Structures are given as C-alpha cells and as structure tokens.
Amino acid sequence: AQKITQTQPGMFVQEKEAVTLDCTYDTSDPSYGLFWYKQPSSGEMIFLIYQGSYDQQNATEGRYSLNFQKARKSANLVISASQLGDSAMYFCAMREGSGGSNYKLTFGKGTLLTVNP
C-alpha cells in the first residue's frame, strides 16, 4: 500500500487565488513528520513546510500553510495568493519515527500546479 497518496496529478489556479493540494498518508507509527517540497522545472527540490504528528497547531510558513487533520490522515498544503512563480510540481513526504529506517523520507507522486495569469 502506498504510504503517501497525492490524488491530484494536476491543478490549475488563477493568480492571486488560494489553492489546496491534497495529501493523505498511511502509517501506524504514532510519531511521524510530514513535509512538503516544491520542484520547479529546474529540478531542484525546495523545502516548504513541516508538520509533526504531535504538533497541536497547523504549520504555517509565509503563504504556505498545512491543513493537518490527524484523524483523517491528511496533510493538505494550502497556498494563499498564488503567484506565477508557484507553478511547479509539489511533493508530499513522510518520515516515520520508529524502526530501523527512520531516516527515510517516503514521497508521493506529486501534483503539478499551474498558476494562470
């Protein structure tokens, strides 16, 4: 079973509007971390935001916020006031806290976001 599921292969949004990118995860570990990365066409993976499983509040970083719903095992990325430069591939990733492979980040397949002017 996939540990990270991103169901939206592609999304379109108008400039200056908000957009939500979906991510659901599967783990039985009570301790885990969730990450979002942005990959523009240049290829570099850019870290955006982190949410820990024990964090009481949703993470925010500038225009990025994470809508963390633990019971539903979802960690959706919200981008407010979209800009043309936000057009990129977005990946959700998870690290589980226990076990021998706790160094491993498991990535979803990504969502391609296109911001229209």
| Residues of the shown chain interacting with other proteins in the complex, contacts defined by CB under 8 A | 31-33, 35, 37, 42-47, 50, 52-53, 91, 95-97, 102-105, 107-110
Q: In the complex, what is the shortest distance from the CB of residue 17 to other proteins, in angstroms, rounded to a whole number?
A: 26
Q: In the complex, what is the shortest distance from the CB of residue 15 to other proteins, in angstroms, rounded to a whole number?
A: 25
Query: Nearer Cβ to other proteins, position 14 or 69?
Result: 69
The size of the chain, in residues, is 117
Is 74 in a helix, a strand, or coil?
Answer: strand
Query: Nearer Cβ to other proteins, position 28 or 42?
Result: 42
Contacts of 110 (CB under 8 A, 6+ apart): 6, 39, 89, 90, 91
Contacts of 43 (CB under 8 A, 6+ apart): none
